[in-house]
Structure 1
């Protein structure tokens, strides 16, 4: 039985039966079929859906926010912000998806393409019931994937509301299936051949189980797990800004976030001042009913979360830490816990070593920056860190922090433009940004031995002009497989009876005869050319051009692909280059 419980009162709101095997099978089949069609849609069709999703989320923001608050307990103002962040993310990928999905040319013959993996199983947590799903789903949809959402069983109504939003925004039927299942049913979903990959956000302990199950099935995973993020305050920091931000960084969402700051590591010389400012800001928090606009901190999401947190506080104080604020369960209906501040917390204590998922701040005092970095890294987690110091000093210190992200003089936050994820036991893989989108894509190398470039111009269609140096040149007009900024062009002028020595280039060369008659010797084969004729020379092939007529010979050439190097096997011709900004030119003089 899956139950929705109001954390502010402890009242059971509604219960649901878990989906049976037949229903799950039908949903998996529908997702596989829908994704098989979706992957071939134009990117513009996918981005239109994202735009519609943003509009649908905003049009229903009040009701969706109220649903979040009633089911997991965060203040209503935070729930409204969560829905808005989902909408912003939809709009960001709608504007960037085409560029993120474009193939990357590596050489004239090769490119890298990005293709969707298929249907991704998303096992999502309760603490940000809409945002956690949309930050995965939006880039995954833009990439051409489908999904099965297994949401946390404490937020089933949010899961079904997500399903309704997707449907009403115009998503193809079945492309994202929302399933209500018990924990023991997840393994079967992971093993199913219709699931191509798995993404999980939640505890490290459960993440280890998910990783093992997906690993046995040889399926790609992205794991965003626990964190014990340090908030480092050095003596040269702006203490007032640091203390004010620290309170938000710790107590947002009642401290129930993997990237909430949890360990406040403060340089000893300013620690008393920081604790005083921090405690005063904590005193201004308003604990109460999350639907009340004045409330800034609501209940924890479940009774067992509150009880676990209280036990961690008791063990930490028992080990010698100082209780500065709070430290007890609130005597009222619901799952409330007092905003708590612990000082003189040391390694080995529960609040330092363990992830504290609730409104508890642990303050650790250090001698200097070196000890601060050492203790910040002294954790099994590595999700993110916040560093408060002078900007010019921060550059060196950020390199020494073991974390997936470091925010300097700011609190840690996820951003649709930036990759998000951790190291060590905080998981692996990334969400968001182009890096997150490509986690669930096949990075495919394509090698295509296309014919070498041939020019498609005629002499009378190209303006030939004198650059003032006696060398006649033409502007670049185009060749196959050549990026516009990686092409060298120019003309070579031969007097009667002269020839360019046998030589080779590391790139392809296209040649057009402007005037006169030439003999091209390419890899030992002689080819007679006259005005209007074009030929090409593959990279690395020895060749030469000979004026075989009675008048001046002028040829136009294009080197394509990368910087040109020459291997001359004879001398007697002077080769001169203009700058790359002038598109390049070459002149040759005979013996």
Structure 2
């Protein structure tokens, strides 16, 4: 039985029978069919869906946030922020998918294309029940993938709400299936032939199991696992700002985040002052009902989490650490008082283990070198926060072992930047272009054909160029600049005119035809219709014949290495690439 329990009261909200084998089989079959169609859709269709998902999330924000607060205990203001962040991430990939998916022309004959892998199994945690899923799903959908979501069994109602949001947004039926299954059913999902890859966020212990199962099946994995992030405060830091940030960094989501600042490593000369400022800031935290807007610290998500945390606190104090404040459970519900442990040393539970809850461990370092050594003295390597003067930060950042280092700021995920860890914090990346590429086949294409021919139809913006993936639109002239000496113009030829074979010594040119023409470029014959265009490299012999019944007009641009702006009938910006970039012409709407 999969149960939904309110951690603020201990009350059971709902229960669900796990899906049986037949139902799971139908989900997998539907996802495979839907994804095989989705991979063939245009980027415009995919980005339209992402925008619709963002709109749907915002329209339902109040209800979804309340569900998060009720089912896993997150304070309501943080739950609302979680939904907004999901919407922002969908919009980010909607805006950038076209560029992320564009082929990369590396040589005159060789290019790199990216293609979706297929249906990805997403095994997701409870602590950010919407964000953890959508930070995977937004780039996965943009890339053309499908998914099966196996959510944490403590948030089944959030899982079903995600399914509802996707349906309301117009996602094709079956493309992302939600499977309410028990833990022991996951192995069969991983090995099923319809699953192409696996993404998992959760504990290092479970990550090892999933990696082993997926590895045996030779399936790609992205693992975002545990963390014991250091929050390093050196003597030259702004201590007041660091203390304020440390409270948020440690106690956000009631301390239940992989990238919470769990070890506050402070230079000894300022440690007393910092601890005083830090504990004073903690007094402003409001422990209470997560549905009340003034609450800043809710309950832990499960009673067992609180028991584990309290045991870590007791063992750390027994080993010699100082209990500054807190250190006790509270109730009703699964609450734990905000806790500060000082004089924590390596070998103590709060230093060596991941503490998943509102407990801060203060570790004192003799100097900056020892602080960096202590920061790295962990099996984890997810994030790190470094507080020091800007002049010192660049050198120290390079010495910290982590997937991300934030200087004079708390660690946070951003859809524009890759997110993930090293060591026992996992491997692979989410977010940014790197996150999208994790579940794509990076395909090398070698074609010995002549340089690409660009064809532009008047009613289309797609460029067909033998696979370079460039997009552009017709244009009629360009601006000269000091840096870019280019020549543009218009040439008109009477009916039947044949332009003799010739060549030019500029790097490249683009010609757009208003009228029918036959072109011979480097011995290749090409028939052009009105509105078509072609690209001519420097030194390549070429000629044109007006084969239409009207005058032939050629709008042409002869360029140097970087034409940065053009005048066009449709108001686009065109980047004219160098000969080394043989994709020829790229364009994007202003």
TM-score, with length taken from structure 1 = 0.79
SS at match of 2:509: coil
C-alpha deviation, 1:511, in angstroms: 4.2
C-alpha deviation, 1:72, in angstroms: 0.2
1:190 matched residue in structure 2 = 190
Q: Does 1:348 align with 2:347?
A: yes
8 Å contact 1:231–1:386 — kept in the other structure?
A: yes
SS at match of 2:341: strand
C-alpha deviation, 1:293, in angstroms: 1.3
Within-5 A mapping of 1:340-489: 340-451=339-450, 477-478=508-509
8 Å contact 1:454–1:510 — kept in the other structure?
A: no
C-alpha deviation, 1:294, in angstroms: 1.3
8 Å contact 1:454–1:479 — kept in the other structure?
A: no
Distance change >3 Å, CA 390–CA 156, structure 1 → 2: same
Per-residue Cα deviation, 1:225-245 (whole angstroms, up to 9, x for no partner): 000000000000000000000
Unpaired segments ≥5 residues, structure 1: 463-471, 481-507, 515-558, 564-591
Within-5 A mapping of 1:18-29: 18-29=18-29
2:242 matched residue in structure 1 = 242
C-alpha deviation, 1:461, in angstroms: 5.7
1:337 matched residue in structure 2 = 336
1:253 matched residue in structure 2 = 253
SS at match of 1:284: coil
Q: Distance in 2 between matches of 1:452 and 1:33?
A: 37
Unpaired segments ≥5 residues, structure 2: 456-489, 493-502, 512-536, 544-576, 582-590
Per-residue Cα deviation, 1:541-584 (whole angstroms, up to 9, x for no partner): xxxxxxxxxxxxxxxxxx98449xxxxxxxxxxxxxxxxxxxxx
Q: Distance in 2 between matches of 1:257 and 1:13?
A: 24
Q: Does 1:58 align with 2:89?
A: no
Per-residue Cα deviation, 1:466-515 (whole angstroms, up to 9, x for no partner): xxxxxx987555289xxxxxxxxxxxxxxxxxxxxxxxxxxx9734499x
SS at match of 2:35: helix
Per-residue Cα deviation, 1:423-474 (whole angstroms, up to 9, x for no partner): 0000000000000000000000000001368999xxx969xxxxxxxxx987
Q: Distance in 1 between matches of 2:317 and 2:273?
A: 22
SS at match of 2:335: coil
Q: Distance in 2 between matches of 1:50 and 1:143?
A: 11
C-alpha deviation, 1:392, in angstroms: 1.4
8 Å contact 2:505–2:539 — kept in the other structure?
A: no
1:527 matched residue in structure 2 = none
Q: Distance in 2 between matches of 1:400 and 1:374?
A: 9
Per-residue Cα deviation, 1:67-108 (whole angstroms, up to 9, x for no partner): 000000011111000000000111111000000000001001
Per-residue Cα deviation, 1:207-258 (whole angstroms, up to 9, x for no partner): 0000000000000000000000000000000000000000000000000000
8 Å contact 2:508–2:538 — kept in the other structure?
A: no
1:267 matched residue in structure 2 = 267
2:163 matched residue in structure 1 = 163
C-alpha deviation, 1:307, in angstroms: 0.3
8 Å contact 2:506–2:538 — kept in the other structure?
A: no
Task: Quote the RMSD (CA, aligned, Å).
Answer: 2.3
Q: Distance in 2 between matches of 1:451 and 1:256?
A: 57
SS at match of 1:478: strand
C-alpha deviation, 1:197, in angstroms: 0.1
Larger Rg computed on CA atoms: 1
